[in-house]
């Protein structure tokens, strides 16, 4: 089951419940700036269920609540994660991402609700610790023995999951190769770089050939190149049919690899959808990036702010450019051109598009 966007869902459900015709509702939503394709989809599906790109739910989180130190960290979280998909979870610090992941793998028991895994039938992870055998978990801080070598770590956990010596040897070699540590397999784990440690941790999380791979901040502290390598590796793992759940701050990259993303806010799932869905759901604005030869961005911003008929939601300078968000991107672009003509300035770059998930996320948290 895929939870719908709560505000839109609520509005659509209430309108339909009140007997509002779908055509009127569609017109209202379009006037409010909701994308046409999304409005059509919601109205067609009746908003009862979110379609899953792969269909079959592998992991079901049902009304899970958890309090730690008297503070409610998770509050009735419900979520379906489908077989074979990469599911991203984003949320601010303390929003309950790690707690949710710990409950998914069974390290924490929920105070209320249940986490179920499809193993023939849906079985409670909390009540059936054996289900952990089909889950891999890469924690935020790498979890392995620093005093052991790369291959000793992989081999040790492989043996603990019931592999024979021979199988463990083979798997150690293949995993070391998969995560790019084959040449460093005899190094002690503590001697590895941060990126290598992340990859070793990932290898250790894969020793049991998990059906579900849970990754908590897998690319934190990694440089761009290492992040790219890791995402590629995850892609390779996913191609083997492994379902992957990722909690990460790197929203820009997350939206590139995730099939769906769930936004966790104040212990609740605020929204679930594909990155595109989220973009259109959370932002009626478009984003314009403009670069001027004169770099007179303050003047441009002031100019735009004076334009009463073209509402500008937000302007900010970033990386030698001025960025702005507006619901009327075409009119805003015309205003920018007008400014340049008046000042005899030259536009060196002009980009127009939807805001990224990160921006949406920041918007959401605001």
Partner 1 sequence: MNPVLILAKNNLRMLFRSRTTAIAIITIPLLLLFFAGLLFDTTSVYRVRVGAWSPAYTDVSNAVLSTLQESQFKVEQYEREEDCVDAVRLGDQHACLVFPAGFALGGENNKLTFYLDPSRATLVNVVLGTIEPRIESYTQDVSKNLTRAIMDALSTVRNSVSVRKGTVVTLTTTVNNAGFGISQVLGTLGAPEAALDINQLGIQDVLGRGAGLSEVAERLANDSLIIADALKSQLQALDGYVNSSGMTSSEKSVAKAGIANATSAADDLRTAANLSKNDVAANNLTGTVQVLLDRLDAAKQTLGALVDARNASLVNLQGVKGKLDSSLVSIAEIQKGLDEMHQAITGLAVVDPEAVVTPIRTVITPVSAESSYLNYAFPFLMMLVLLFSGLLLPCILMLSERNSPARTRALLVPLSDVSRMAGVLVSCVAVLAVQALLMLVVAAFFFPIWLGLPVLVPALLAISMLFVLIGMLIGSLVTQEFNAILAGVLVGAALLLASGFIVPLDVLPRWLSVIAGVNPVVIGGEVVRIALLFNGVGFGWNVLDILVLLVWAVALACAVVWVSRNDRRLTLERAIQSVMALRKK
Could you list the residues that contact partner 1 (CB under 8 A)? 68-69, 93-94, 98-99, 102, 105, 107-109, 129-130, 132-133, 135, 137, 139-148, 152-153, 156-157, 159-161, 165, 204-205
Smallest distance from partner 1 to CB 139, Å: 5
Smallest distance from partner 1 to CB 190, Å: 9
**Closer CB to partner 1, 138 or 326, in the complex:** 138
Smallest distance from partner 1 to CB 172, Å: 14
The Cα–Cα gap between 76 and 273 comes to 18
**Closer CB to partner 1, 143 or 174, in the complex:** 143
**Closer CB to partner 1, 168 or 357, in the complex:** 168
The Cα–Cα gap between 88 and 260 comes to 6
Smallest distance from partner 1 to CB 153, Å: 8
**Closer CB to partner 1, 191 or 232, in the complex:** 191
**Closer CB to partner 1, 39 or 126, in the complex:** 126
**Closer CB to partner 1, 150 or 281, in the complex:** 150
Smallest distance from partner 1 to CB 130, Å: 5
Smallest distance from partner 1 to CB 88, Å: 18
The Cα–Cα gap between 208 and 5 comes to 35
**Closer CB to partner 1, 337 or 365, in the complex:** 365
Smallest distance from partner 1 to CB 162, Å: 8
């Amino acid at each position: 089951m895929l939870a719908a966007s709560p505000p839109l869902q609520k509005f659509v459900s209430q309108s339909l419940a009140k007997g509002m015709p779908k055509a009127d509702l569609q017109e209202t939503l379009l006037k409010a700036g909701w994308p046409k394709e999304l409005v059509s989809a919601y109205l067609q599906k009746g908003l009862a269920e979110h379609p899953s790109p792969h269909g079959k739910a592998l992991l079901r989180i049902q009304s899970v609540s958890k309090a730690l130190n008297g503070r409610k960290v998770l509050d009735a979280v419900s979520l379906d994660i489908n077989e074979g998909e990469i599911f991203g979870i984003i949320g601010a610090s303390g929003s309950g991402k790690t707690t949710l992941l710990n409950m998914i793998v069974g390290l924490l028991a929920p105070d209320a609700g249940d986490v179920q895994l499809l193993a023939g039938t849906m079985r409670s992870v909390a009540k059936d610790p054996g289900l952990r055998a089909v889950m891999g978990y890469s924690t935020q801080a790498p979890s392995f023995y620093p005093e052991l070598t790369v291959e000793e770590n992989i081999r040790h956990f492989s043996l603990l999951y019931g592999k024979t010596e021979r199988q463990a040897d083979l798997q150690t070699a293949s995993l070391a190769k998969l995560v790019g540590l084959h040449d460093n397999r005899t190094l002690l784990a503590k001697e590895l770089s941060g990126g290598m440690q992340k990859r070793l941790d990932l290898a250790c999380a894969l020793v049991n050939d998990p059906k579900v791979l849970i990754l908590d901040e897998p690319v934190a502290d990694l440089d761009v190149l290492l992040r790219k390598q890791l995402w590629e590796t995850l892609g390779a793992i996913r191609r083997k049919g492994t379902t992957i759940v990722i909690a990460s701050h790197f929203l820009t990259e997350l939206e590139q690899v995730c099939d769906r993303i769930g936004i966790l806010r104040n212990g609740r799932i605020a929204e679930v959808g594909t990155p595109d869905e989220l973009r259109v759901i959370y932002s009626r604005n478009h984003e314009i990036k403009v670069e001027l030869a004169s770099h007179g961005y303050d003047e441009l911003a002031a100019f735009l702010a004076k334009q009463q008929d073209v509402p500008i939601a937000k302007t900010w300078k970033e990386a030698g450019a001025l960025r702005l968000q507006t619901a009327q991107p075409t009119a805003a672009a015309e205003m920018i051109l007008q400014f340049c003509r008046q000042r005899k300035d030259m536009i060196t770059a002009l980009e127009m598009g939807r805001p990224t998930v990160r921006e949406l996320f920041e918007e959401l948290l605001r």
